[in-house]
Amino acid sequence: MKEIEHRASELISWVEDIKDKNGSSAGALYILKDNHVVVEHYSGRHTHEEDARNVQADSQFNVASARKSYLGLAVSYALYDNYIESLDDPISRYMPELDPQMVIGTTIRHLSTHSHGLHIDEKGNWYREFEPGTDWAYRNIGVDILTELIHRLYGKGFPQLLEERIFSRVGLKETGWRTEPAANLVNIIGDVTEPSLSGLGTTNDGKEKNLFVSAREFALWGELHLQKGRMNGEQVVPPQVIDLSTSIQNGVYHDSSLPDNGLFWYVQGDARAKSEMGERVPQGSYQILGVTGPTLLVIPSLNVVVAKMYNKRYNYGGEDYLHYLREFSNKVAYLFTDSQ
């Protein structure tokens, strides 16, 4: 136990060091092991202003692209509810207004695993980078398409779908697409020399990057997946929905360094050089992060969930940012394996 406490202290120090080096004003680390809180750490303030609110347990961070894990679960629900027949359905079947030549061969699977090959130029024109399923590129156009798809299939945004089916049932109050300022919302730091950004949106339908989550509820989102949809003694989400979302769904790439994905989650199969998870992380683990620094790592084989929060746009390390993301996940794996 003392060894685990020592390594946990080292992990907190690492998280704090990166926070300071990157210019983040706020940080948090929340770790669940065997459904118990083993680390709960908060530091800094909501902005760099001296009178800004201190980070607390109820502080909600803008999780940026980590919101894609919520969309991924909605896509999995659509398959379970038979709104779509297969992940391999062409997107044109559901959205016939899309340019047929542009999206030919593009499936829901491709859109959910960053392997669709579509991109948008500076003028807003779509173009194709590569043929569907042959390569991997992190492009938000797939997110935009699937967000619209879920809205059409259910007649509501995916946040409303998840609120009805999950959030309200498990009592998530610190998770939501925020449009109004509130004291417990952490601002986003862009350039440290300029005023911070609110991160608020104009709508809560999931079409904007305005999902705010506290560290403890971010960890509960991971715990929901770890427990195959079972929370508080109730099967809230069908296990099949969780399994589809968190297992490898992309095809085999010619480039073996490319990361594997579930429905937007990075999933650890064989260790990949371009994955955000390090080589020490066990197979079957999955992770998602955002440009503002939030990271949610789930390690089923160790029964561990880790939520790390920052509020600085762009992860530390510049072009070498993957090194630090991998280092963090390796440190987590080290914390709970070699010390056992």
pLDDT band at 190 (very low <50, low <70, confident <90, very high): very high
At 337 the pLDDT is: 87
At 1 the pLDDT is: 63
Task: List pLDDT tens digits, range 157-168.
Answer: 999 999 999 999
Residue 144 in this model has a pLDDT that exceeds 90 = yes
Task: List pLDDT tens digits, range 327-338.
Answer: 999 999 999 986
Residue 340 in this model has a pLDDT that exceeds 90 = no
Task: List pLDDT tens digits, range 109-141.
Answer: 999 999 999 999 999 999 999 999 999 999 999
* pTM metric for this prediction: 0.97
Task: List pLDDT tens digits, range 191-223.
Answer: 999 999 999 999 999 999 999 999 999 999 999
Q: Using H for helix, E for strand and C for coil, what is the string for the chain?
A: CHHHHHHHHHHHHHHHHHHHHHCCCEEEEEEEECCEEEEEEEEEECCCCCCCCECCCCCEEECHHHHHHHHHHHHHHHHHCCCCCCCCCEHHHCCCCCCHHHHCCCEHHHHHCCCCCEEECCCCCEEECCCCCCCCCCCCHHHHHHHHHHHHHHCCCHHHHHHHHHHHHHCCCCEEECCCCCCCECCEECCCCCCCECCCCCCCCCCCCCEEEEHHHHHHHHHHHHCCCEECCEECCCHHHHHHHHCCCCCCCCCCCCCEECCCCEECCCCCCCCCCCCCCCCCCEEEECCCCCEEEEEHHHCEEEEEEECECCCCCHHHHHHHHHHHHHHHHHHHCCCC
Residue 153 in this model has a pLDDT that exceeds 60 = yes
Work out the percent of the chain whose per-residue pLDDT is above 90. 97
pLDDT band at 262 (very low <50, low <70, confident <90, very high): very high
Task: List pLDDT tens digits, range 68-96.
Answer: 999 999 999 999 999 999 999 999 999 99
Work out the percent of the chain whose per-residue pLDDT is above 70. 99
At 241 the pLDDT is: 98
